[in-house]
Amino acid sequence: MTIRKELMDDLEKRRQELRLGGGKKRIDERHERGQMSARERLDTLFDAGTFQEWGMHVEHSCHDFGMETKSMPSDGVVTGVGWVNGRVAAAFSQDATVGGGALGQRHAKKICDIMDYAIEGGMPFVAINDSGGARIQEAVESLSGYGQVFYRNVLLSGCVPQIGIIAGNCAGGAAYSPALMDFLIMTRTNANMFICGPQVIKAATGVECTMEEVGSADANARISGNVHFIADDDQHAMQIAADLLSYLPSNNVENPPHAPTGEICLDADPLMNDVVPEGPKDPLDMYAVIHRIVDKDHFLEVHREFAPNIIVGFGRVDGIVVGIIANQPNVKAGTLDIDASDKGARFIRFCNAFNIPILTLVDVPGFLPGVAQEQGGIIRHGAKMLFAYSSATVPKITVITRKAYGGSYLAMCSRDLGADMVFAWPTAEIAVMGAEGAVNVLYRKELSTVEGDKKKAMYDQFVEEYRARFSSPYMAASHGIITDVISPAQTRCVVSLALRNTLNKSETRPPKKHGLIPL
């Protein structure tokens, strides 16, 4: 017995209508603005033909304010499961052509269902946000829906990677779901994210501002640090998400997608020696160091626009996935400030949650001095770095390139904070403080008895003696505080070997519900 043709025709007709969401005209308008439709975004993210949609035929449940006569195809959100570069992932994409993509009770249920499936199936979760917020007509049901989504964001946290894409409106309480996720990607145009927009801010405070100042991609990425990646357009946003997933495990009980090369290249890289500036006060470009360590074209920087005095990102070293944290001396001399501490600590915590080895590259003269930093809580924020590294049980490899002073040396994954191996270049200076500052304290009395050229000559001599005796990496090596002193040219092969040698690391901590990071 075969299914009647009219039933099959009806099914296909329904599907075609539902795929158009709010209609072809509205989709065409989006295309004119450079935006994709909700389903086009998912088609771009997932491998061709692999996306299985959930709840295509769902309709809203509201019967007030004339809503009982209105149709809302798929209730304004597309959900389902597909494959990204051959690996399964769950996702939703809000459809702004249907009621502005506003969230109602069944809209929220669809999202919650796919989130539940993501954690049950141990797969990454991708959320494409493009919504006017809560559906006012559904009142408290909309608020309840958001609460259920937030609750699941927290349930998923640390179990499966969560990636949020802001590709349209994301305002008010709706912004808190992506804020609870691991990584946010925002398109440079056609998108905004804020709690209170310019009109509300003016009404409440009398201060006039623009959307560019409070809700743009630049404001969220560079100033507030809410966003990790800025995409040129929808297609670029999906590509970033796919690239990011290529470095991540599907869940917290799997290893990252390592692809170890058959052989490790143990040859020295003499060009790394050229990266090192001649003078100790000349800035070192840490990007040049990173790109000589990782495999070619295998570094994905995270949070590039925010707190650029520290660099974080994912790379591969002879095929092994690694999370990289590095001071950037070209910005604020590489000091750790409030924003850099938050940025670094968050990235470390993510790597530890998902079994990603951590490589730390150190050139740090200290925490950033200043009244604003002290009053802003640099003690509390800096402590996040200490907490994050100390609590991390994944393989931790540290390379000290030059300056490593005081508390900031400890905060950049010293041996005392649990680094498995610490290597230092001959240019490394490991000390309580820089030689100049130390001499001013230790030899203040001697220097006060002389003046002019004689004082300068004596000061320079004391500095050189202190640097040679107390700041030298060989002092640290002689006390067993570092693993070895290596030439810059050896860095890549030493790091590669160290990663291979620590991949099976297992570390047990005292049982507890969770530690209390200084938030």
Q: What is the DSSP string of 450-519?
A: --HHHHHHHHHHHHHHHIIIIISHHHHHHTTSSSEE--GGGHHHHHHHHHHHHTT--------S------
Token pair listed for 153: 């964001």
* Helices 452-466 and 435-442, axial angle in degrees (round to 10): 120
Cα distances (Å, whole numbers) of residue 91 to 45, 145, 244, 444, 461: 10, 17, 15, 64, 64
All structural domains of the chain: 14-245 (3.90.226.10), 270-433+473-502 (3.90.226.10)
Distance, in Å, from the CA atom of 35 to the CA atom of 128, rounded to the nearest integer, reads: 13
Q: Considering the chain, what is the average pLDDT of its residues?
A: 92
DSSP conformational letter for 43: H
Section 379-387 average pLDDT? 97
pLDDT beyond 90 at 330: yes
CB of 154 within 8 A of CB of 191?
no
pTM for this prediction: 0.93
Contacts of 456 (CB under 8 A, 6+ apart): none
Cα distances (Å, whole numbers) of residue 462 to 18, 410, 439, 473, 500: 78, 25, 6, 18, 43
Containing H/E element for 190?
none
Any bridge partners for residue 455, and if so which? none
Pick from 275, 299, 295, 284: nearest CA to 496? 295
Question: For position 172, what pLDDT does the model report?
Answer: 86
Distance, in Å, from the CA atom of 429 to the CA atom of 401, rounded to the nearest integer, reads: 8
Question: For position 1, what pLDDT does the model report?
Answer: 53
Distance, in Å, from the CA atom of 81 to the CA atom of 54, rounded to the nearest integer, reads: 8
Give the gyration radius of the chain's Cα atoms: 27
For the stretch 52-85, pLDDT in tens is 999 888 887 766 666 766 878 888 899 999 999 9
Cβ-based neighbour number of residue 59 at 10 Å: 13
Question: For position 310, what pLDDT does the model report?
Answer: 98
Instruction: Report the percentage of the chain scoring pLDDT > 70.
Output: 98
For the stretch 83-132, pLDDT in tens is 999 999 999 999 999 988 888 889 999 999 999 999 999 999 999 999 98
pLDDT beyond 90 at 22: no
For the stretch 130-167, pLDDT in tens is 998 878 777 788 889 999 999 999 999 999 999 999 99
DSSP conformational letter for 221: I
CB of 283 within 8 A of CB of 275?
no
Distance, in Å, from the CA atom of 458 to the CA atom of 289, rounded to the nearest integer, reads: 36
For the stretch 218-276, pLDDT in tens is 999 999 999 999 999 999 999 999 999 999 999 999 999 999 998 888 899 999 999 99
Cα distances (Å, whole numbers) of residue 165 to 42, 184, 270: 11, 6, 41
Distance, in Å, from the CA atom of 340 to the CA atom of 309, rounded to the nearest integer, reads: 7
Q: Is 119 exposed, middle or buried (0-12, 13-18, 19+ CB in 10 A)?
A: middle
For residue 119, give the 3-state DSSP assignment. helix
E strand residue ranges, 85-142: 87-94, 125-129
Cα distances (Å, whole numbers) of residue 403 to 101, 163, 290, 390, 477: 51, 35, 17, 21, 15
Token pair listed for 35: 């935006």
Cα distances (Å, whole numbers) of residue 137 to 60, 68, 106, 126, 409: 11, 11, 13, 27, 56
Distance, in Å, from the CA atom of 11 to the CA atom of 23, rounded to the nearest integer, reads: 18
Any bridge partners for residue 397, and if so which? 359, 421
Cα distances (Å, whole numbers) of residue 406 to 104, 411, 424, 438, 452: 53, 9, 16, 11, 31
Question: For position 425, what pLDDT does the model report?
Answer: 96
Residue 297 sits at φ, ψ, to 5 deg, of: 60, 30
* Helices 105-121 and 140-156, axial angle in degrees (round to 10): 10
Question: For position 2, what pLDDT does the model report?
Answer: 65
